[in-house]
Structure 1
Amino acid sequence: MKITVENTEELENSIKVAFATKDLESINAHFGGAKEFIVYNVSKDGFVLDGVIKTDTSEMTGDDKTDFKVKALKGINIMYCESIGGTAAAKVIRAGMNPMKVQEPRAIEEVLKELIEMINTNPPPWIKRIMNIETVEDPRLERWTDE
């Protein structure tokens, strides 16, 4: 079951970021135990709520739980959680998501603002790739221009 939120605002070159949460305000759930993930589209211009993905797997067992969550989060670029096991992290990465752990519960809005700041100042290459940001000055390119 997926809850969709009608969104009128289109963010260009945005990334989808999911947060494992118990209260829709903080990153405060373990990946495996998260009953829902709140999803935002984030771009250099800001963020908009994309929806909430329900992932209650209390009726499931073992690997089914992880597989269900990974499928539910299809299309997500970055997934924040309080913690995640090694096997689950490997499945998340294979599904094309970047798992991020927080040391202690953090306000989602705070992390969203940090992401926007990072995108606008010095995004790592994998973020640039996801967002189709033109790489203007890549030191690796200089090596090949003189040939």
Structure 2
Amino acid sequence: MKIAFASKDGLSINEHFGWCETFYLYEIDENSATLIKEIDSSKKYEAEVDKLEYKIDCVSEADIIYVTQIGPKAANMVKIAGIYPMKAAKEDEKIEDVINTLQKMMGENAPLWLKRILLKVVN
């Protein structure tokens, strides 16, 4: 599955979805994690809907997006686009820690939300 992280430094989840200028896209499975690419999402838009559509388009390959904050309207638009929005559990949560947690969850009894994503990825 592919996960986009909103980050200023590529190490921690430390950006708001709507303000993020770079997303880091990883592909992970139970045993490995690979940074696929850094996604430039720095283009500015006046209208909120245009900005949100642009950000969603930037991360359209992702199955999950991890951010520090995401507004209800943006979260809804992200879900409609088929991407699962997640908020970091704490400020400056490490990307590596989130990946390790997800891999552990994949190897054990994955929660329903994660099973749905994994089934979508397989099909």
TM-score normalised according to structure 1 size:
0.75
TM-score normalised according to structure 2 size:
0.89
Q: More helix per residue: 1 or 2?
A: 2
Query: RMSD over aligned Cα, in angstroms?
Result: 1.5
Unaligned runs of 5+ in 2: none
Q: Which has the larger radius of gyration?
A: 1
Whole-angstrom distance in 2 between the partners of 1:127 and 1:104: 23
Q: Deviation per CA, 1:80-113: give whole Å up to 9, x if none.
A: 0000011000000000111001231111111111
Structure 1 ranges of 4+ moved more than 3 A: none
Give identity over the alignment, percent: 36
Higher RCO by CA contacts (8 Å cutoff, separation 6 or greater) = 2
Q: In the alignment, what sits opposite 2:60?
A: 74
Q: Give the C-alpha shift of residue 72 in structure 1.
A: 1.3
1:107 to 83, 94, 107: 94
Q: How many residues align?
A: 118
Three-state SS of the structure 2 residue aligned to 1:96 is coil
Whole-angstrom distance in 2 between the partners of 1:48 and 1:75: 14
Unaligned runs of 5+ in 1: 1-14, 134-147
